[in-house]
């Protein structure tokens, strides 16, 4: 902003409007002190609002509000209407150029605000903002229509009338009633009935009976070199004709007949079916039996008589199928529907130990006519899943439950308050299975939901069993897949087989040191997860079952002459 000019020109003039002669101010009376020099702001204020302003043309103040501008504009309009009188010449000569320009701007602003008519507009808006009383209109009452007594016609679509587009009535659909829960299948179940396909069933039964006569389970000798074992696994492949659907539902258990000449495999499903498949038959003889109403969790051929196949189900029953008698008979019936697994306590298979989900175990003697247990004991294990008997010292058995894998002594069991003789610690989640090695029992392999496979050294049964190896392994199978169970190769005491969630789909073989031995895979014939697997006792044959009831057979030249 430019300075306002010479300060002498802004000095206020006397009331007479004329400067003193000689440019000298009047003398102050004696006795009065001269006033202190005023600051620039005080001089400006005095100059704008002092008594001299009336004599310099009565400069109006700058309007700050619309109302002030309107009042000012009215005054200016009055002066303009009177002839647009200008300031007197004497006063106009005394004003500086800045004050003249300011005065002109004030007059123009006043005229502009007057043209806006803001006061009149504000008054109109106030009047429009006032609420007017609303007159409520009462709707006239509707007159009730008198009924004529006739029912109104309801239009329905042809779909609701169950008519086809031509107007022909559709067949009635039977009403589905909610069925009551099935009861247990009581009594013996015949192997050969009156249904269709008896010829295939008879041929299958004849094959089973033929290979079971004089057949004993022979434990193969463990190869000395692991390298030779790996090379034999590399020769095993799956081919067309060795993949078949044996059960209609998810497979929960598998068992291999010990015959060395012809090969028979049994599969248990989640809805109580047991399927048999003769791998040696060119016709792919497969037959399915309905033995239970719950999931078949465990299957074993009898160690002393391979003509007998024992099955355990969630419905609380254990059945024994004798092909010589052509019947599946009851061996054990529990009071509750909670059986989880079983194993043979005696080498001849006459005595069983059966585990229950609630933590109970029962000792069953097949030689007695009763279907009840000889004795039972509560182990205090939540969700007891599997039980496995030591192959040499058969008084010991290992259990798998919630975050625990423990070893008990059958001789010390009581009705309740039983203590384990050994613990295998380290699990942080549920243990799906715990199994002794098949020849010496010096190892136990466990599968846990904490995504670990652990191998324990059980060569000495001590209170705390040491861990030999721990393998990172994805064990999260989800809801629709059977939980993984590790099974030992019956021919060896140091290698086991387990399913895998890895892609491409495969079945894995591990050594008890934790190293991976082999991966069974095939891009053409193996495209699903095989949760349950079993190896032949003496031959290089592997069978893997998936959750759709399908079996995959990996073999070398053992089945080439089929």
Please tell me the distance from the alpha carbon of residue 103 to that of residue 60, in angstroms, as a whole number.
8
Cα 120 to chain centroid, rounded: 70
State the residue range of the domain holding 465: 189-555
Summarize the confidence of residues 467-495 as an average pLDDT.
95
Length of the chain: 562
Task: Report the candidate in 232, 191, 213 with the shortest Cα–Cα distance to residue 536.
Answer: 232
55-65 pLDDT, tens digit each = 444 444 444 44
- What is the reported pTM? 0.68
Where residue 343 sits, what CATH number does that domain have?
A: 2.130.10.10
Among 150-154, 253-257, 387-391, which is the least confidently predicted range?
A: 150-154
Tell me if 294 sits within 8 A of 337, measured CB to CB.
yes
Task: Report the candidate in 408, 386, 404, 376 with the shortest Cα–Cα distance to residue 395.
Answer: 408
Please report the sign of the dihedral spanned by the C-alpha atoms of residue 221, residue 224, residue 227, residue 228.
negative
Tell me if 382 sits within 8 A of 394, measured CB to CB.
no
Residue 245 lies in a domain: yes
Residue 457 lies in a domain: yes
Please report the sign of the dihedral spanned by the C-alpha atoms of residue 150, residue 152, residue 153, residue 157.
negative
Summarize the confidence of residues 39-56 as an average pLDDT.
45
Residue 8 lies in a domain: no
Among 150-154, 202-206, 456-460, which is the least confidently predicted range?
A: 150-154
Residue 482 lies in a domain: yes
Sheet arrangement for strand 452-457: 431-436, 443-448, 452-457, 467-472
pLDDT value of position 164: 78
Return the percentage of the chain with pLDDT > 70, whole number: 74
Tell me if 329 sits within 8 A of 188, measured CB to CB.
yes
207: left (phi over 0), alpha (psi -120 to 50) or beta: alpha
Q: Of residues 197 and 213, which shows the higher confidence score?
A: 213
65-87 pLDDT, tens digit each = 444 444 444 444 444 443 444 55
Q: Residue 143 gets which letter from DSSP?
A: P
Which tokens is 73 given? 């504009």
Sole residue written with tokens 């789909």: 505
Residue 149 lies in a domain: no
Residue 44 lies in a domain: no
Residue 137 lies in a domain: no
Residue 411 lies in a domain: yes
- What's the structural domain count of the chain? 1
pLDDT value of position 165: 79
Residue 452 has pLDDT above 70, yes or no: yes
Please tell me the distance from the alpha carbon of residue 87 to that of residue 188, in angstroms, as a whole number.
133
């Amino acid at each position: 902003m430019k300075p306002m000019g010479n300060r002498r020109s802004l000095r206020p003039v006397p009331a007479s409007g004329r400067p003193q002669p000689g440019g000298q101010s009047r003398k102050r009376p004696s006795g009065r002190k001269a006033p202190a020099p005023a600051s620039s702001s005080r001089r400006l204020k005095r100059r704008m609002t002092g008594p001299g302003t009336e004599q310099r043309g009565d400069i109006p103040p700058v309007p700050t509000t619309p109302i002030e501008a309107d009042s000012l504009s009215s005054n200016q309009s009055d002066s303009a209407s009177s002839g647009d009188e200008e300031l007197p010449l004497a006063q106009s000569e005394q004003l500086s150029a800045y004050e003249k320009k300011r005065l002109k701007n004030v007059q123009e602003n006043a005229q502009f605000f007057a043209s806006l008519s803001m006061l009149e507009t504000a008054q109109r808006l106030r009047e429009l903002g006032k609420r007017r009383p609303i007159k409520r209109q009462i709707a006239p009452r509707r007159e009730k229509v008198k009924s004529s007594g006739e029912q109104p016609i309801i239009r329905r679509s042809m779909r609701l009338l169950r008519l086809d587009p031509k107007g022909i009535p559709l067949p009635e659909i039977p009403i589905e009633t909610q069925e009551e829960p099935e009861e247990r299948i009581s009594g013996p179940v015949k192997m050969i009935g009156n249904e269709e396909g008896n010829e295939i069933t008879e041929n299958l039964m004849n094959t089973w009976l033929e290979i079971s006569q004089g057949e004993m389970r022979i434990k193969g000798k463990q190869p000395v070199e692991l390298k030779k074992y790996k090379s034999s696994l590399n020769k095993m492949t799956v081919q067309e004709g060795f993949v078949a659907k044996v059960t209609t539902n998810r497979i929960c258990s598998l068992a291999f007949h010990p015959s060395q000449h012809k090969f028979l495999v049994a599969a248990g499903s989640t809805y109580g079916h047991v399927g048999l498949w003769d791998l040696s038959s060119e016709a792919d003889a497969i037959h399915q039996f309905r033995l239970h109403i719950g999931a078949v969790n465990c299957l074993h051929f009898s160690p002393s008589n391979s003509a007998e196949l024992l099955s355990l189900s969630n419905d609380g029953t254990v059945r024994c199928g004798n092909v010589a008698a052509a019947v599946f008979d009851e061996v054990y019936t529990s009071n509750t529907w909670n059986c989880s697994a079983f194993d043979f306590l005696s080498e001849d298979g006459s005595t069983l130990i059966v585990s229950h989900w609630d933590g109970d175990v029962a000792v069953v003697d097949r030689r007695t006519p009763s279907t009840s247990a000889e004795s039972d004991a509560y182990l205090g294990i939540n969700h007891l899943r599997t039980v496995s008997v030591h192959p040499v010292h058969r008084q010991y058995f290992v259990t798998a439950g919630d975050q625990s894998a423990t070893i008990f002594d059958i001789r010390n069991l009581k009705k309740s308050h039983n203590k384990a003789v050994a613990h295998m610690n380290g699990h942080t989640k549920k243990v799906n299975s715990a199994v002794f090695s098949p020849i010496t029992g010096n190892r136990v392999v466990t599968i846990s939901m904490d995504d670990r496979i652990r191998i324990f050294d059980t060569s000495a049964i001590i209170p705390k069993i040491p861990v030999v190896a721990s393998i990172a392994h994805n064990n999260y199978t989800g809801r629709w897949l059977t939980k993984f169970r590790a099974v030992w190769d019956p021919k060896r005491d140091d290698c086991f087989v387990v399913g895998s969630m890895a892609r491409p789909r495969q079945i894995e073989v591990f050594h008890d040191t934790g190293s991976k031995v082999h991966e069974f895979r095939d891009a053409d014939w193996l495209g699903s997860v095989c949760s349950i697997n079993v190896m032949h006792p003496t031959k290089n044959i592997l069978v893997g079952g998936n959750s759709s009831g399908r079996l995959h057979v990996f073999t070398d030249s053992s089945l080439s002459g089929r």
